Amino acid sequence: MKKLTAHKATAVAPANIAFIKYWGRADDVLTLPANDSISMNLSDCITTTTVSFEDQLEQDVFELYAQNGNRMDLRTDETERIFLQIDRIRDLAHLTTKTRITSKNSFPFGAGIASSASGFAALTLAATVAAGLNQSKQELSRLARLSGSGSACRSIPNGFVEWQAGTDSSSYARSLKSADWWNLYDVVAIVDDTKKTVSSQDGHGLALHVPYFQTRQQELPVRLKRVKEALQERDIHTLGEVVEEEMFSFMSVLQMSKPSLLYWSGKTIDVIQAIRRWRAEGLAVYATIDAGPNVHCLCERSAVDSVCNQLRTIGVSSFIVNHASEGAHIIMDHLF
Ligand code: DP6
């Protein structure tokens, strides 16, 4: 085993919004999904992480800061997942040195805006570079997947991303289209920024016992194909229709889980209903939601101002405007 004298790297990674959701696993240990999924990286929901290998440390140290600079507390199992990911990277690099890790989110933590996806993608890239490894995008995506936050593998490649489920440990996500392919926006309407009570980790397990889950698996190939066609054609209406259908399919699995998972709040439904009204009035905007209450309003750039104004009229004053963005990348400004 090697030792490494203070070697530091900082990475930025985006959260991503799933057009077709990863929900349910074929293999828990390898984090293999039950189905392929497609997502878009979010420009303004990012995690920045600095990892430093330091000889004098006796144990790994992790700190997470919220967008307002406040220090966030993690549950023990959440911290364990982070240190397990560091162990994987240490093993790859044949190192024993402990790490100091600081992370900062630009958006609410644990409220269904895939903070673990951006978090594990940034951690994986920063830690591999700090450890002196030079991993390809494919290898990084695989490593990020193994963190247990499967969707993190989609935050490594650029822009619009597909994770093909695969059947073995080689499963990874690749870019379908670069970020500049389409001026598609995701205005995240923040209706609730408190941390969710049931994690995705528990939800994946419950999903497999839902009878509708099997039907959903049969429906997905058509939806995946339609999303790819819509991306190719930059067709907001087709994309939006499929994405809303997918949201309700995903929601059905959540509701039919035992115990039933209800991430939506009354405000979530208000926003979905308002979106239907605005669409009837000619505004091309569509909704999708991950495992949380906040509504991702998908529209093209020309509609962003109208969507923000309309959200204000129904009392939503907090939102994050995202365009499609590049995946995880290294920056030179360290957090410490
Ligand atoms: C609903 O297991 O990747 O966002 O560990 O919370 O990031 P976290 O979740 P993960 O499941 C993601 C579930 C989803 C859908 C998706 O992003 O595909």
Looking only at the bridges linking them, the beta strands covering 37-53 and 99-105 are antiparallel
pLDDT string in tens for the chain (336-residue length):
665 555 999 999 999 999 999 999 999 999 999 999 999 999 999 999 999 999 999 999 999 998 888 898 888 988 999 999 999 999 999 999 999 999 999 987 655 566 789 999 999 999 999 999 999 999 999 999 999 899 999 999 999 999 999 999 999 999 999 999 999 999 999 998 776 667 788 899 999 999 999 999 999 999 999 999 999 999 999 999 999 999 999 999 999 999 999 999 999 999 999 999 999 999 999 999 999 899 999 999 999 999 999 999 999 999 999 999 999 999 999 999
Q: How far apart are CA 323 and CA 65, in angstroms?
A: 24
What b/e sequence results for 152-169 when a residue is b if at least 16 CB atoms lie within 10 Å of its CB, and e otherwise? bbbbbbbbbbbbebbeee
Going from the Cα of 191 to the center of ligand 1, the distance in angstroms, rounded, reads: 19
Going from the Cα of 34 to the center of ligand 1, the distance in angstroms, rounded, reads: 13
The single-letter code of the amino acid at 295 is V
CA–chain centroid gap for 60, Å, is 25
> What would the DSSP string read from start to end of 200-248?
HHHHHHHHTT-HHHHHHHHHHHHHHHHHHHHHHHT-HHHHHHHHHHHHH
Q: Which ligand 1 atom sits nearest the alpha carbon of residue 291?
A: 1
How high is the pLDDT of residue 69?
87
Q: Which ligand 1 atom sits nearest the alpha carbon of residue 112?
A: 4
Q: How far apart are CA 83 and CA 55, in angstroms?
A: 17
Q: Which ligand 1 atom sits nearest the alpha carbon of residue 199?
A: 6
How high is the pLDDT of residue 163?
98
